[in-house]
Structure 1
């Protein structure tokens, strides 16, 4: 699996942000945060003038933690990785596999950022970004995140194709918590490029990825399901769960099932028309209806919208 998680998968799908743009975004965020902190502090000092020194010190510490630590964490969580400085510089914080961050990612980045940005004036963060291959500071390393560029030169759009309709919802009970982010990135990279690969090479890669995915989930891949279709179905299931956690509803932002993102016919998976190892039978045209067939009658106990049953 290590050979499949290559640099091209990161360079094409996740473009890491450079140190100057990240530093500019941090400076903008700090200017805004300290401006808000000064205004809030002046208001609190004016309203708590009658407190003793211990109470005033406690209020000052609470204000510092709330404004300079809590507010940035809340902003990154609610905006899915885009603070005011990152929005101005065209950056976003994402997970290692390209998915949106959640509260725990923002919490780890904010907690470590107090030490490597606020207390050391950004020296530790700059050194860590220069040493890291993808420009990650310590907060990104511990949180499993990456700052990427959003405003990049336009290129051919790559979509993760939807799974076959008969596989949607089949893996709803699968435990995906043990799948590492690197494997998700490799699967996404394969699905977006499987049409460009040699059929034999693509099949071998799909079998290898399906085996790694099955080993991480603890459930073997079904033998009757082609490996590429199995990968697409599991990725679709993970996207649906992420959308439900992020938006609290259905699978928001997931490509429609059975439809191509660009409006054309759906993707064709190798061997998806029949179980693996069996030939695909040609479709038989349906015979035209005869005149002596009784019309369909509604079910007597069916409510509105139930439909019809075949004639006797």
Structure 2
């Protein structure tokens, strides 16, 4: 497998970090939980949602000819027909997506959820835009526009997603098993004299996500991301040991964790001693 075929989630998350300063998508080593739903499953979910909309509209037709067969006013009949179309293909999808926070029946079936491109929850405005454009790209063109648009976008976004600023996020994914962070062999002498300052929460989280997901990355992408993260973290690590970037990140994380754990333990012991003195008094 060549270097050019590096996983899309890594590259996409990196570009999202540049365009959107958001904590969820800021890390190059993005967690598996924020992968977009693929084109096939998006199409399958859209078919399920479309079938539900058509069932609602067909239900109106059945009721219309069964219970309202004696309706004599053609104008009222046309108005009811338009209202049924709007309700089935715009109001119902918009209401379901808004109330379920991006989880319609089709998305529940394929394990997806509509979110903003910055990772935040979608709202009524996003659902309304998607529903209105969905009438054109899903029903009037029999899904051709939606399929072509999704096929040529990195996150399988249809036209409504591009306009609303959303995409379908995969939420039914396996959890990464956390790896124990241990001081790498050969860096014990460095750890005795090193100074690792507290890093910003977002940077620390990105490093942690990378160390957890590193075994699933291609070697070239793994080395590139480790180098980029170490470049950002170098301001908080002194001195930088002569080791590969990923090893330095592991050593810095282990050292910082051990020192913070020791500080918390000392603080707990002081609290216990103070409590004992007060009880004695």
TM bin, normalised by shorter chain, reads 0.5 to 0.7
Quote the Cα distance in structure 2 between the aligned partners of 1:10 and 1:21: 21
Quote the Cα distance in structure 1 between the aligned partners of 2:258 and 2:278: 32
Quote the Cα distance in structure 1 between the aligned partners of 2:232 and 2:28: 18
Identify the match of residue 68 of structure 1 among 78, 89, 100.
89
Quote the Cα distance in structure 2 between the aligned partners of 1:289 and 1:113: 69
Match of 2:206 in 1: 193
Higher relative contact order (CA 8 A, sep 6+): 2
Quote the Cα distance in structure 1 between the aligned partners of 2:128 and 2:258: 42
Unaligned runs of 5+ in 2: 1-16, 179-199, 212-225, 237-256, 264-269
> How much has 1:94 moved relative to structure 2?
1.4
Matched, 1:94 2:120: no
Match of 1:33 in 2: 53
- Structure 1 pair 290/34, CA: closer, same or farther in 2 (3 Å)? closer
> How much has 1:64 moved relative to structure 2?
0.6
Identify the match of residue 168 of structure 2 among 147, 151, 166.
147
SS of match in other structure, 1:8? coil
Which is helix-richer, 1 or 2? 2
Match of 1:16 in 2: 36
Structure 1 residues 270-289: aligned runs within 5 Å: 288=277
Matched, 1:104 2:125: yes
The question of whether the paired residues in 2 share the 8 Å contact of 1:91 and 1:151 is answered with yes
Match of 1:2 in 2: 18
How many residue pairs match? The answer is 194
Unaligned runs of 5+ in 1: 158-186, 206-266, 274-282, 294-312
Please tell me the root mean square deviation across aligned C-alpha atoms, in Å. 3.8
Quote the Cα distance in structure 1 between the aligned partners of 2:65 and 2:101: 34
Match of 1:137 in 2: 158
